[in-house]
Structure 1
């Protein structure tokens, strides 16, 4: 059954609440959401994805946008792990790279779907120590069941093993185990 929701002219929070209510009702597996505000459309899409729903399409119409979303065609989420090789994200400027890696973990910790494990290696281990901006987000991920593994050899190399604030100390056996057991390993 397709349910149409018109969120034109309502606040962002009202729009989010309306869509939430419809998906709580198990009789609705497909929804068309009419929106005339780009910021609300973006917030709705982000919220739908965070909830594990599939955004099939976003159509531009004269009145705004139509979001087509469903629960019935969700893709199966395969087990995945991340390998974090650096304390920055991307190549180039270190300052923006640190901001990006912090944002990556802060946003990731808000999602219901999380990786099976995250292995930190090389300078990536610096994201797991006292005073790192990422510690709270990593703790939140760990609380959701993510196995946070931090390379012991790397901690020793940087002489920061005593500053470990989140995760457990791991070895090369843990890393190889991740590569052998996961369907998807994403290196950052």
Structure 2
């Protein structure tokens, strides 16, 4: 693994440093990048998607984010020598004033097992969007998604690292006995949930 410290670096330096580190791999391998803001994470994520790298990201603490890119066997996603500096651009914040509301562990009506698979797939698909929601609200049956044992934790960590606010209803956590098991985001209340919904340009409920 090659480690890149880009904390304090302005765009496009984190992307440039990461591209150089990937070239140093000269084959399959992993690059870990540390940055201090969500926009840098968004830029690195966009680059990874374009190049075909596997990527994971998470917020470690305030103003410290970890991005891990993996180049696969056979050199998938390797940087090409003809890549030019013009390809390295600073994208604007990709978050928009949309709210995603997840109030169930399942998506749609019908088979419960299928519904659970669909909801997990929906959360993953959010990580692949060019425009991200500003906030994801979890309440009632959706509350366990932010807690220990959730199948969506890694996807939610990646979204949080890109600046998406993750909020879970505190009353719901208490009801389900999950107050001590929250692993991602913050606890919220019905006043904040209502305020977020009222101020949103649009609300998406899968």
Q: Given the two structures, how large is their TM-score scaled by the length of structure 2?
A: 0.54
Unpaired runs of at least 5, structure 1: 1-12, 27-50, 52-76
2:158 to 140, 143, 163: 140
- For structure 2, the 5+ residue unaligned runs are 1-75
Shift, 1:25, TM fit: 10
Q: Deviations over 1:79-117 (max 9, x none)?
A: 100111101111111111111111111121122311000
1:108 lines up with 2:114 in the alignment = no
| CA-CA distance at 1:158 after TM superposition | 0.5
Residue pair 1:78, 1:184 contacting (<8 A) in 2 also: no
Aligned to 1:94: 112
> 1:172 deviation in Å?
0.5
User: Which secondary structure does the structure 2 equivalent of 1:116 belong to?
Assistant: strand
User: Any conservation in 1 of the 2:97–2:134 contact (CA below 8 Å)?
Assistant: yes
Q: Once superposed, which parts of structure 1, at least 4 consecutive aligned residues long, lie more than 2 Å away? A: 23-26
Q: CA RMSD in A?
A: 2.8
Aligned to 1:64: none
Does 2:170 correspond to 1:152?
yes
Alpha-carbon distance, 1:143 to partner: 0.7
**Partner of residue 67, structure 2:** none
Matched with 2:205 is: 187
* 1:172 alignment counterpart: 190
